[in-house]
Amino acid sequence: MNDIETDVIVVGAGNAAFCAAFAAAERGARVLMLERAREGEDGGNSRFTAGAMRFAHEGIEDLLEIMPDLTDKELETTDFGTYTEDQYFDDMFRLTQFRTDADLCEKLVRNSLDTMKWLLSKGMRFVPSYGRQAFKVEGRFKFWGGLCLEVWGGGPGIVDQQTEIALKAGIRIEYETRALSLVFDGHTVSGVRVKRDGEIFELKAPAVVLCAGGFEANPEWRTRYLGPGWELAKVRGTWCNTGDGIRMALDVGAAAYGNWSGCHAVGWDRNAPEFGDLAVGDNFQKHSYPLGIMVNASGRRFVDEGADFRNYTYAKYGRAILDQPQQFVWQVFDAKVLDLLRDEYRIRQVTKVSAQTIEELAAKLEGADAKAFVDEVEAFNGAVMTDVPFNPAEKDGRGTAGLEVPKSNWAQTLDEPPFEAYQITCGITFTFGGLRIDPQTAQVLDTDFGPIPGLYAAGELVGGLFYFNYPGGTGLMSGSVFGRMAGGSAAGAVNV
């Protein structure tokens, strides 16, 4: 294998890596992809996602270009809405507290729709995300929160489709091949040092694109950069994302960038395994909390469950859950909303209790203060603005009055049995800190902010886009936009 001749080496085999490979190959480059995992576990975090992608669009005409298979019935019964570039910018800046890198953000937003069309041209298929992003209101499905479609087949569908496209394009994928370091002469990157079957050797290429994910699967790095307690978090996705790509680049003088103490972390089943389970996928997540309440071991609420649509709060509430006593909470719902819960609440591998009364439920909430919980529900029920109509498809203003921890929208009294509760802990998705890249080329910059010849990066190991929080569906979109940019730039630099 060490005698392979190639023009571009892509480290990783998830969505960002495949987009880099596609872009390099379409410019005539010979492309080699290196995947640490074995075949079937490949794809990094992409395999574990739901496949939702956030992009700017002006409505149904744009959507029909991306989902040409929409039926007349779907068009008649669905309000897909619009999600303009201005809305995308507003969400990115609002959720990151105006810290997102303006140049990276502009590239992401301005290129999002065109990149979706490019992916379609490559053979990717997209479908409406009815089960996750729409509620039926007055007979019509209404999408909310800036998301309306996902990749056909979800996360596994992404990897399977992109692998097929890559192989048809003549792109070579080597599994169980771990990148250890970059071949670097002090000025230029000219390959990768790898380990395979116990053997260590060098693979040479004029350009390398790093797409190896963040460091969320590395408990030592999590504790070092995110802080004490983060070694206790579950990992939602692959065990392979231990920061190798970031470390390799830093070792040759790359600049660190972004929110190194920040991450995307969500509510995750307390008894989920240490790393993601491919058989379950992303279904250990529990994202219907805006329809109920969350209480900690003290039996008390601790966040505004209805502060915003789930898409805009779920990635930061994982941290809030980890900060609670014993790192768990219970999500509680009553019969009024059970039919609105997402499909992930109905899987077999779930930590769930149910009861016919709140007092009976309290006794079943393992680890929680039962009396305090009953008191909390009583106070919450008395504070709900029942005169305001409930509408799950919009921020309805049906909140609470007089509570220390308010609920701003979708507040429902917990008074109609059966009651259900789900035990949740923190599941980390990816880390926000990473490498600094040139927003025009995706070339990795050094600590003097100059480009490192031969080195490019895309995906979750790029820093500067996300701070504190994250708009759902932006990870796959940014991986696609900057993966495409990195692969095209890499191929262009080697003059193929």
Tens of pLDDT along 112-125?
Answer: 999 999 999 999 99
Average pLDDT over residues 196-225: 97
Share of the chain above pLDDT 70, in %: 100
Average pLDDT over residues 209-219: 98
pLDDT of residue 138: 86
Share of the chain above pLDDT 90, in %: 97
**Taking a C-beta distance cutoff of 8 angstroms, is the pair 437, 108 a contact?**
no
Which CATH number goes with the domain that contains 399? 3.90.700.10
Average pLDDT over residues 64-91: 96
240 belongs to a structural domain: no
Average pLDDT over residues 235-244: 97
CA–CA dist 495, 451 (Å, integer): 18
Q: What is the dihedral of CA 361, 364, 365, 369, to 10 degrees?
A: 90
Domain C-terminal end among 412, 427, 442: 427
- E strands in 44-177: 78-79, 126-128, 134-137, 140-143, 149-151, 172-174
476 or 494: which leads in pLDDT: 476
CA–CA dist 248, 154 (Å, integer): 31
Residues 312 and 374 in one domain: yes
Average pLDDT over residues 405-424: 98
pLDDT digits (tens, 9 = 90+) for 12-22: 999 999 999 99
Residues 76 and 183 in one domain: yes
446 by Cβ neighbours in 10 Å (0-12 / 13-18 / 19+) ranks as middle
CA–CA dist 4, 6 (Å, integer): 6
- The pLDDT of residue 2 is above 80: no
Residues 87 and 54 in one domain: yes
Least Cα distance to 287 among 323, 324, 313 occurs for: 313
226 belongs to a structural domain: no
Tokens matching residue 92: 């990115």
Residues 204 and 173 in one domain: yes
- The pLDDT of residue 1 is above 80: no
pLDDT of residue 4: 84
Paired residues of 269 in beta bridges? 424
Residues 298 and 168 in one domain: no
SS3 for 260-287, per residue? CCCEEEEEEECCCCCCCCCCCCCCCECC
Residues 57 and 81 in one domain: yes
The boundaries of the domain holding residue 148 are 8-214+432-493
User: Residue 448 contacts by C-beta under 8 Å, 6 or more apart in sequence?
Assistant: none
Side-chain-side CA neighbours of 128 within 13 Å: the count stands at 24
Residues 203 and 314 in one domain: no
What value does the mean pLDDT of the chain take?
A: 97
Residues 195 and 54 in one domain: yes
Average pLDDT over residues 280-304: 97
DSSP 46: G
Residues 105 and 17 in one domain: yes
Q: What are phi and psi of 214, to 5 degrees?
A: -90, -150
225 belongs to a structural domain: no
- The pLDDT of residue 382 is above 90: yes
CA–CA dist 15, 211 (Å, integer): 9
228 belongs to a structural domain: no
Q: What are phi and psi of 263, to 5 degrees?
A: -160, 165
224 belongs to a structural domain: no
Task: Sort residue 137 into left (φ over 0), alpha (ψ -120 to 50) or beta.
Answer: beta
Least Cα distance to 243 among 485, 95, 459, 52 occurs for: 459
Least Cα distance to 51 among 141, 173, 144, 159 occurs for: 159
What pLDDT band is residue 495 in, cutting at 50, 70 and 90?
A: confident
- The pLDDT of residue 185 is above 80: yes
User: Residue 168 contacts by C-beta under 8 Å, 6 or more apart in sequence?
Assistant: none
Domain C-terminal end among 378, 402, 427: 427
Output the pTM of the full model.
0.95
360 belongs to a structural domain: yes
Residues 272 and 390 in one domain: yes
Residues 406 and 315 in one domain: yes
Tokens matching residue 201: 């050797």
pLDDT of residue 496: 61
14 belongs to a structural domain: yes
Average pLDDT over residues 194-205: 96
CA–CA dist 303, 382 (Å, integer): 18
Which CATH number goes with the domain that contains 438? 3.50.50.60
Residues 407 and 482 in one domain: no
CA–CA dist 344, 310 (Å, integer): 14
DSSP 393: T
Average pLDDT over residues 57-69: 96
Number of structural domains (the chain) is 2
39 belongs to a structural domain: yes
Least Cα distance to 212 among 423, 62, 43 occurs for: 43
User: Residue 147 contacts by C-beta under 8 Å, 6 or more apart in sequence?
Assistant: 52, 53, 54, 129, 132, 133, 311, 472, 473
Domain C-terminal end among 392, 427, 462: 427
The radius of gyration of the chain's CA atoms, rounded to the nearest angstrom, is 23
Q: Where are the alpha helices (DSSP H) in 153-263?
A: 154-168, 219-221, 244-251
DSSP 105: H
